[in-house]
Amino acid sequence: MAEEIINRVANSKLKTFDLEEIYPEGKRVQFDVKNWLYQELILKETDFREHVKNHDWSQYKNSFVAITCSVDAIIPSWAFMLVASELIPFANKVVIGNLELLETVIYQELLNFVDFNEFANLPVIIKGCANKPIPNSAYALLIEKLQPLARSIMFGEACSTVPLYKSKK
């Protein structure tokens, strides 16, 4: 007689947190101001303001935008702020920085709305493999939220986890 296979993972109190599940859909765009600089080096205020005025900002509707300058030029803060002020009515989120910073800020905001009480005194697995661009900083933010509550925290998949934290009893 064959012995019944029991799924111990499904029957355990183990909880999984998958950062991909809260990943917001929407195009990620890196907006580079270098093209609006004189010889990609010098910001001329009049020319820069003209570019801002004539740009079609509606193309960023429902996008997540990181404003940056990819060349070694000195850009005054007001220039980034001016671009941001035009993007904000259209974009879901605007940051001044790179795409990794953008994802970090997105996750920081998202994790502030998660009710972590359901993980209290339970073993938690933070799902490892991701198909979306989840920055390492998002995992650190998640640990910060879970550690005061969870009994233990592991990383990976239920079949092969790496232990990260165990509460002291």
What is residue 2's predicted lDDT score, i.e. its pLDDT? Answer: 67
Angle between helices 77-87 and 45-54 (to 10 degrees): 10
DSSP 34-100: GGGSBTTTB--HHHHHHHHHHS-GGGGTT-EEEEE--SS----HHHHHHHHHHHTTT-SEEEES-HH
Phi, psi of 126 (to 5 degrees): -90, 115
What is residue 12's predicted lDDT score, i.e. its pLDDT? Answer: 64
pLDDT at 4 over 80: no
pLDDT at 9 over 80: no
Separation of alpha carbons 39 and 89, rounded Å: 30
Q: Report the pLDDT averaged over residues 149-169.
A: 90
Q: Report the pLDDT averaged over residues 120-143.
A: 91
Q: Name the pairing type of β-strands 123-127 and 15-17.
A: parallel
**For residue 124, what are its two tokens?**
């938690």
Separation of alpha carbons 169 and 165, rounded Å: 13
% of the chain residues with pLDDT over 70: 93
Closest CA to 129 of 26, 51, 18, 44: 18
pLDDT at 77 over 70: yes
Q: Do the Cβ atoms of 55 and 24 come closer than 8 Å?
A: no
pLDDT digits (tens, 9 = 90+) for 52-72: 999 999 999 999 999 999 999
Angle between helices 136-146 and 99-111 (to 10 degrees): 20
pLDDT at 10 over 90: no
pLDDT at 1 over 70: no
pLDDT digits (tens, 9 = 90+) for 86-108: 999 999 999 999 999 999 999 99
Amino acid at 94: V
pLDDT at 6 over 90: no
Q: Do the Cβ atoms of 31 and 68 come closer than 8 Å?
A: yes
Separation of alpha carbons 157 and 148, rounded Å: 22
pLDDT digits (tens, 9 = 90+) for 17-43: 999 999 999 999 999 999 999 998 999
pTM, 2 dp = 0.83
Q: Report the pLDDT averaged over residues 61-86.
A: 97
pLDDT at 5 over 60: no
Q: What residue segments make up the domains of the chain, in order of their start?
A: 8-24+106-166, 28-91
